Amino acid sequence: MTDGKRPAIARIWRGRTTRDRADEYEAYNYEAGVKPLIEKALGVQTFREDRGDETEFMTISYWESVEAMSVFAGSDPTRIHHLPRDAEFLIELPEQVQILRLLSSHGTTG
């Protein structure tokens, strides 16, 4: 985190792909989606869960406020900003993200 700012908001995105495309999507998602987010958010975590023939990815970004998140995400921070190749990889295009207030944080994110 920079400038002593503390995270107050978590923005959570989830998407699923087929297991056979998961490695390719992981690399693409990192380059096209996560790297730009790292430059703007106070913190970013990405997760992957392989389940049978599909894989779920989750990205959590941390923000000091909804206003700060809106600078990156637009006037409606719950609106999805699909990456150019998401339709190629994802089983279905997510319709929204989840926005949560961060009540307490310990360790590496706080």
Q: pLDDT tens, 55-75?
A: 999 999 999 998 888 887 778
2 close to 94: Cβ distance less than 8 angstroms: no
Give me the pLDDT at residue 11, please: 94
pLDDT of residue 71: 81
Phi and psi at residue 41, to the nearest 5° = -80, 160
- Domains identified in the chain and CATH numbers: 9-102 (3.30.70.100)
Predicted local distance difference test score (pLDDT) of residue 2: 47
Distance CA 58, CA 49 (A): 9
Predicted pLDDT at 1: 43
User: Taking Cα atoms as reference points, which of 83, 73, 15, 86 lies closest to residue 41?
Assistant: 73
